[in-house]
Amino acid sequence: MAEITPDILGPDVLILGAGINGAGLFRDLSEQGVSCLIVDRADYGSGTSAAPSRLIHGGLKYLETGEFRLVAQSTLERNLLLRNAAHCVEPLPTVIPIFSWTKGIWAALRTLMGSTTAPRSRGAVLIKIGLALYDFYGSRAKVMPRHAMKGRRRALADLPALTPRILAAGTYYDAKISRPERLVWELLADGMAANPASKAVNYAELTETRAGQLDFMGPDGCFTVAPRLVINAAGPWIDRVNASLGAPSRMIGGTKGSHILLDHPELVAALKGQMIYFEADDGRICLVYDFLGKALVGSTDIKASDPDTVRCEASEIDYFLGALRGLLPGLSFDRSQIIFAYAGIRPLPASDAANPGLISRDHSAPVIAATSARPYPVISLVGGKWTTFRGFAEEVADGVLTRLGRTRRISTRDLPIGGGKDLPKDRAGWIAAQASRHGLSEDRVATLLGRYGSTAAEVMAHAGPAGVLDGAPTYDLAELDWILRHEQVRHLADLVLRRTTLAMTGSLTRANLDQIADCAATALGWDAARKARERQAVLDLAEKHMMRL
């Protein structure tokens, strides 16, 4: 990006918060010719957007609360992402173990009528109805098969590790995303490429608001912004940001979601590439599936409000491990298998609901009108979920365009994202050609294509340092050097936690952390003291995320 200067910047729109909702809106508005500045006080996609179940799903359980419009939008957006971000979003066959035939029907009807209790022990009849509705709502831009029901014998033949207590199983398809934090960056990069007047800045703190101007302290110095309109996309921090803008609000009432990753080859093999979406003993929905060769387990849904201190607690880990033991009694589970843990606050709308699972996952964009002291209106992006970011952005962008007196000139519905552009139709031929051109093995080219999509061609063409990472040979130093020089990495944690999956997949060690720090110091011009601080900052995160370095 171009340097931010101390001069007053006058973009059409200032977006505060560069998570998935802010990044999606930034790209959409930039594609319409609107000049945008998006600012985050930390790294891009480092808040709630870095703490999802990594599913791109249609919201099957939202049928219970009657949020049919949200399910229709979510299934459509899921199908679109399978096409527009095919480099990192892929189908995920899913199994629902069933333990009764008719339970849950009356409880589901009560929930539809507004009851504050959700069904427990959802039986085969209820699940069959839900999956049929799910197929119906997901029929637009359809790319995956319909659901099926299996009897106990077939279900156990397919997944022998399942508890023999099941009576049947439902099967259907959703999707998963391998690198959500990278997709946030790709949306920002697409927006800046579409409109050179749009810029993105991470690690910039709002220091003062005055007379229609906002002062920031960024990594390259101070700058001032005088926007026509402000978008508050700060997720669970929305109310705090509005207060700092002189527009106090009570919009957010979030819940906490925690996850763990297990290094458990036996479990991964038993899953056979499928997700198990199951009820724990208390009726809450949990899930387990293969995420880049590790087992991802989630998720809790607990009322919480402080995103700055959130972490996966010991009680939640006990809950996950206990749920897995009941589901897969032939496998062993203990804390020694955990290689990574994370948690985030879902920025749900403020609610007095006693059951966090019944708080709506829908989104809204309330407007706080301009005043004489604050001559710009503030639009807050409340709620939403990972899957629906494009549709949410489109809705808000249309309102922004109306306010600015402009019209939409391009739809993002069929617009590929980042490395999802120009993916080779002849994958094997492309891999062979690139391997020959760059003197790489076909396996290496296939790995880079899987990570970066079509952007892999730029990564392979980059002349960087030679060598691979100790203990993580699928990453080489030239690849990391390319990321460091092209993707606005400010800190070592940005690289190991978000631009790559090194930390999450347990591939980060003390030895290769030293290699990575050396690489970053060379690419970013750090002196020995800065390199040591950055290395220590990553080590300090090890306890929070249960990393085994």
pLDDT digits over 325-347, tens only?
999 999 999 999 999 999 999 98
Strands (E), 237-307: 255-262, 275-279, 285-291, 294-298, 302-303
DSSP per residue over 495-544, as a string?
IIIIIS-TTTTT---HHHHHHHHHHHHHHHT--HHHHHHHHHHHHHHHHH
Domain membership of residue 2 (yes or no) is no
- Same-domain pairing of 170 and 84: yes
Which residues fall within 8 angstroms of residue 332, CB to CB, at 6 or more apart? none
Last residue of a domain, one of 333, 351, 369: 351
- Cα–Cα distance for residue pair 399/91, rounded to 1 Å: 33
Strands (E), 32-109: 36-39, 55-56, 89-98
Per-residue pLDDT, 281: 80
Q: At what angle do helices 442-452 and 427-438 cross, to 10 degrees?
A: 120
Last residue of a domain, one of 290, 317, 351: 351
Distance between start and end Cα atoms, the chain: 34
Whose CA is closest to 146, among 127, 173, 123?
173
* Residue 272: pLDDT over 90: yes
* Residue 539: pLDDT over 70: yes
Per-residue pLDDT, 143: 83
Q: What is the CATH number of the domain that holds 327?
A: 3.30.9.10
- Cα–Cα distance for residue pair 548/504, rounded to 1 Å: 10
Interstrand relation of 221-225 and 275-279 (parallel, antiparallel or unpaired): unpaired
Per-residue pLDDT, 61: 83
Domain membership of residue 148 (yes or no) is yes
Which residues fall within 8 angstroms of residue 490, CB to CB, at 6 or more apart? 43, 202, 203, 219
| Beta bridge mates, 303 | 255
- Same-domain pairing of 246 and 264: no
- Same-domain pairing of 165 and 260: yes
- Same-domain pairing of 433 and 347: no
Domain membership of residue 378 (yes or no) is yes
* Residue 116: pLDDT over 70: no
- Is the CB of residue 325 less than 8 Å from the CB of residue 30? no
Per-residue pLDDT, 384: 84
pLDDT tens-digit map of 353-380: 656 665 677 889 999 999 999 999 999 9
Q: Residue 521 is part of which domain span?
A: 422-545
* Residue 1: pLDDT over 50: no
Domain membership of residue 94 (yes or no) is yes
CA within 13 Å, CB half, 349:
15
What amino acid occupies position 410?
A: I
pLDDT tens-digit map of 163-201: 999 999 999 999 999 999 999 999 999 999 999 999 999
Quote the number of domains for the chain: 3
Q: Give the pLDDT band of residue 405 (cuts 50, 70, 90).
A: very high
Torsion of CA 345, 346, 352, 355, to 10 degrees: -90
- Same-domain pairing of 168 and 190: no
The lowest-confidence range among 169-173, 190-194, 463-467, 511-515 is 463-467
Q: Give the pLDDT band of residue 119 (cuts 50, 70, 90).
A: low
Domain membership of residue 342 (yes or no) is yes
- Same-domain pairing of 395 and 480: no
Average pLDDT, the chain: 93
Per-residue pLDDT, 158: 96
* Residue 493: pLDDT over 90: yes
Q: What is the CATH number of the domain that holds 504?
A: 1.10.8
* Residue 141: pLDDT over 60: yes
- Same-domain pairing of 457 and 528: yes
Domain membership of residue 133 (yes or no) is yes
* Residue range 296-300: mean pLDDT, rounded: 93
- Same-domain pairing of 152 and 212: no
Domain membership of residue 514 (yes or no) is yes
- Same-domain pairing of 282 and 316: yes
Domain membership of residue 67 (yes or no) is no
Per-residue pLDDT, 2: 43
Which residues fall within 8 angstroms of residue 429, CB to CB, at 6 or more apart? none
pTM equals: 0.94
Q: What is the CATH number of the domain that holds 195?
A: 3.50.50.60
- Same-domain pairing of 259 and 242: no
- Cα–Cα distance for residue pair 228/213, rounded to 1 Å: 10
- Same-domain pairing of 272 and 387: no
- Same-domain pairing of 159 and 259: yes
Share of the chain above pLDDT 90, in %: 82
Whose CA is closest to 321, among 304, 303, 298, 344?
298
- Is the CB of residue 503 less than 8 Å from the CB of residue 545? yes
